[in-house]
Chain A
Amino acid sequence: MSDTLKYEEKKLKIVGTRPLRPDGVDKVTGRARYGADYNLAGQLIGKVLRSPYAHARIKAIDVSAALALPGVKAVVTRDDFPEMPNEYASAGELTVNYRAVTRNMMAREKVLYDGHPVAALAAVSESVARAALALIKVDYEVLPHVIDVVEAMRPDAPLLHEDQYTEGVKPKPARPSNIAKRLEYGHGDLAAGFAKADVIIEREFNTKPVHQGYIEPQACLASYSADGQAELWTCTQGHFVFRAQCAKVLQMDVSKIRVTPTEIGGGFGGKNNVYNEPLAIALSRKSNRPVKMVMTREEVFRATGPTPGANVKVKIGCTLDGRITAAQAEVNFQAGAFPGSPVNQASMCAFTRYDIANVRVVGHDVTVNRPKVAAYRAPGAPIVVFGVESVIDELSKKLGIDPIEFRLKNAAKEGTQTYYGPKLGPIGYVQTLEAARAHPHYSAPLGPNQGRGVATGFWFNIGNETTCSLNLQPDGTLTLNLGTIDVAGGSRASLSMMVAEELGIELERVRPIIGDTSTLGFNFVTAGSRSTFASGMAGVIASRDMIEKLRARVAKIREVPLAAVAWKNGRAEPADARVVKFEPMSLAEIAAMAGRTGGPIAGHAEINAQGAGPGFGAHIVDVEVDRQTGAVKILRYTVVQDVGKAIHPAYVEGQMQGGAAQGIGWALNEEYVYGADGVLQNPGFLDYRVPVASDLPMIDTVIVEVPNPNHPYGVRGCGEVPIISPMAAIANAIDNAVGVRLYQQPFSPPRVLEALSGPAKR
């Protein structure tokens, strides 16, 4: 079975329409069960004791008083978890350094951020657990801390890891550093490129960490049985990855852990990694009772991974007629307490929208005393694109060239050489730009203190391991067992739609479920804009596999050659009735006979989907700036994006609108605020200000479809691209509205006022 099916243009009956999603009724009635909605008889409540310091050595932990409190059934500390070597191991295709994973889950020698877990316990109720936490005594030796990325890169900065030497530097440095890794991408001759430029603009940008902001805090329920098997219910973007991480950290066989994914209340990349899960299993093992652990909102902010804060320097040169001759960037990302920021991917997508002969991007992954970062929708890209698309805008203004025209002049196309290695395949960047330019928004009139901004984004999209099985039930309906977590409600719908399309049957005859880890082979996380692409591919392969088996079965039942049986109109029909004629068979008729003619029929796919197609987006935003308060109001917003093929357009629109809204929040209000003591000051939704309904206008969407040749329906994926452009688009709009450039995110009222009152900051 092939891992890639090529695109075929054909007339579609179901794909591209807007049916109701199969899991929808449960979600509007409160029946759907999320992570915190599962309970087991006799369960204990688990809670975590967290460091109050940004950086400290743990000298001793005394849990005796907590253990003695009536109602406390188990306590775990670093002593309950094995040491992990400095080893990159595959958590099923996602390599992680387990030495970091176990330390982030439970501190060992040091606490490295405010909120870092130090101990966990399980008790008979929430109130007993809280009281017991207060009885745990930890002896800390407080150390100096560093949270700013530029400060952390200095040789005299407080050091988080004494054994961390900058990777990617030859020869190996003599002294350890907070810079975990240096990387460099590029091609051409940068100096020569800048020498050819008539105009060069060089700017520096600073951004703060922002959180994915999913409304559902992490929640899990673990039940360890005396025979060494564990069951785990958790809200996760990847139950197979969670299983692998738990197994490794607890040193259990993978197949002894059964992870059932609950419905998930948002993830956006933040639920790709375990936090409390191994602790819950360990506490259940120790107490011999189920243990439920639900994070508070404060814990989510203090201890789960935000996106990095960053310092980004961008320098771009171009000729008077708007051709970019050279582009350079330095991308310094906070990784948080352990290495592993998305600086690599960010560096790769900084300039990829453009065909530039001379490029150099240098990236640094820097550890600082903040929580370990996690992925957030196109990880790293929005930050670096804020810088690049702002400078592109300044250049186009300086030269008097329309911003979309400027981008078209330099646009990447099929065959453009990227600066990180391969050439781009068929892409839709030019089509996306042209659709944006043609949109009425682009030429609508503007009033005083109002301005329009444009910015574009690119993301690679991925495929990865996917398994599914399609089973024919005795009444001719089908169950589609998927391993791809359905985060946003689109994938169960769109995957069933593709299966129904393939089989030529009504959508209602296909019932999708998400299987737990024991029912399917490995599935990668739902992230990377991969679900409609990779699971769609798997669904199509499983459908075609089933069709082959159905044909073979009908050939036997009807006693005709296999070649005489075709699958048409949702049933088995003669391929050519003039040659061999037989009575057609529907799915229900085949199913009714299946047991007596060889057994049940199923289709399978176990693939590693390759051939993901990159996506491009262009955003247009109108803002109005209040010169007295500095408040920026979003008047109008349009998202144009190439998605390859919109299987269910309503959910594609939803991704575009939702991603844009997150980007708007990132631009205008969201930031982590730390005190001088390195403690997070705004771990709640009051002071960590995400967009509310009254902050936003309607968000127009334009779906561009340049099919991905490596997917049977042309799907590229769409989830991540829409978060990339808003920051730059809004910065560009503010400049057009009131003539000031913002180089620091967020563009909150105090910052806008400051920019309005003085010379534009650099």
Chain B
Amino acid sequence: MARIALSSSLAPYADGVRELELEVANVRQLFEVLGERYPGLQAQLEGEVAVAIDNEIYQDALLQPIRSDSEVVLISKIAGG
């Protein structure tokens, strides 16, 4: 099961949950499962969230694979100026 952590800024939208374990094949599935479990998180998942998989940051990479031993952290997206 991949270990999924939510950055503390996202926790309020997921009923305060910070960590969980999930069996998901890629980022899109991860978002689907999280969105179903925590409807308050759905709006964030749609456009505000980036994903660090084993410490590599991915933005807008729905098909990026997640392995069963991956460490995944959801963080807010980065933009720039």
Contacts and interface: CB of A to CB of B under 8 A. Distances in A.
State whether these chains interact: yes
Interface string B48-73: 10001001111111001000000001
A169 B16 CA distance: 11
A39 B54 CA distance: 52
B59 A610 contact: yes
Given A610-B57, A611-B56, A461 B80 contact: yes
B36 interface: no
Contacts of A184: 8-9, 12
Nearest to B11: A184
A136 B7 CA distance: 50
A329 to B, nearest CB: 13
The range of chain A's interface size is 35 or more
A610 B79 contact: no
Interface string A453-464: 000000111111
B79 A422 contact: no
Most chain A C-beta atoms within 10 Å of own C-beta, residue among B13, B56, B61, B73? B56
Given A185-B8, A269-B81, A527-B80, A95 B55 contact: no
A150 to B, nearest CB: 22
Name the residue among B9, B46, B47, B61 with the largest chain A CB count within 10 angstroms.
B9
Given A90-B47, A170-B12, A184-B9, A423 B60 contact: no
A420 B7 contact: yes
A336 interface: no
Given A345-B78, A462-B80, A720-B81, A425 B12 contact: no
B80 A529 contact: yes
A94 to B, nearest CB: 7
Given A95-B48, A184-B9, A186-B8, A528 B60 contact: no
B81 A376 contact: yes
Nearest to A168: B12
B48 A185 contact: no
Interface string B19-59: 00000000000000000000000010011100010011111
B59 A344 contact: no
A185 B9 contact: yes
B74 to A, nearest CB: 7
A755 B22 CA distance: 56
A91 to B, nearest CB: 10
Interface in A490-532: 527-530
Contacts of A272: 81
A168 B81 contact: no
Contacts of A423: 55
Interface in A144-195: 168-170, 183-187
A185 B7 contact: yes
Contacts of A741: none
Nearest to B47: A95
Given A423-B55, A464-B60, A465-B60, A269 B7 contact: no
Interface in A552-609: 608
Contact of A421 (B48, B52, B79, B81): B52
A378 B75 contact: no
Nearest to A90: B47
Interface in A86-114: 88-90, 93-95
B60 to A, nearest CB: 5
Contacts of A247: none
B48 A88 contact: yes
A168 B9 contact: yes
Contacts of B60: 93, 464-465, 608
Given A93-B60, A420-B7, A460-B78, A425 B46 contact: no
B52 to A, nearest CB: 3
Contacts of B46: 88, 95
Contacts of B79: 94, 342, 345, 375, 379, 462, 527-528
A625 interface: no
Interface in A245-268: 268
B81 A420 contact: no
Contacts of A610: 56-59, 61, 64
Contacts of A378: 80-81
Nearest to B77: A95
A634 interface: no
A528 B78 contact: yes
A94 B16 CA distance: 26
Contacts of B55: 422-425
B43 A375 contact: no
Contacts of B75: 348, 420-422
Contacts of B80: 269, 375, 378-379, 459, 461-462, 527-530, 720
A268 B81 contact: yes
A377 interface: yes
A332 interface: no
Contacts of B8: 184-187, 420
Nearest to B76: A344
B5 A421 contact: yes
Given A184-B8, A344-B76, A463-B59, A422 B81 contact: no
A474 B19 CA distance: 58
For A342, A347, A422, the residue with the greatest tally of chain B CB atoms inside 10 Å of its CB is A422
Interface string A196-232: 0000000000000000100000000000000000000
A513 B17 CA distance: 49
Interface string A371-413: 0001111110000000000000000000000000000000000
Given A184-B8, A420-B75, A377 B47 contact: no
A187 B7 CA distance: 9
B73 A377 contact: no
A527 B81 contact: yes
Contacts of B43: 88
Nearest to B13: A168
Given A88-B43, A90-B47, A425-B56, A379 B12 contact: no
A450 interface: no
15 contacts: A95-B48, A185-B8, A268-B81, A345-B76, A348-B75, A348-B76, A378-B80, A420-B76, A421-B52, A424-B55, A459-B80, A462-B78, A464-B59, A464-B60, A610-B57
Nearest 9 CB-CB pairs, A to B? A528-B80, A269-B81, A375-B81, A95-B47, A422-B52, A421-B73, A183-B9, A527-B80, A421-B7
Interface of B: 5, 7-9, 12-13, 16, 43, 46-48, 52, 55-61, 64, 73-81
Given A93-B60, A421-B75, A422-B75, 5 more contacts: A184-B8, A345-B79, A422-B73, A460-B78, A608-B59
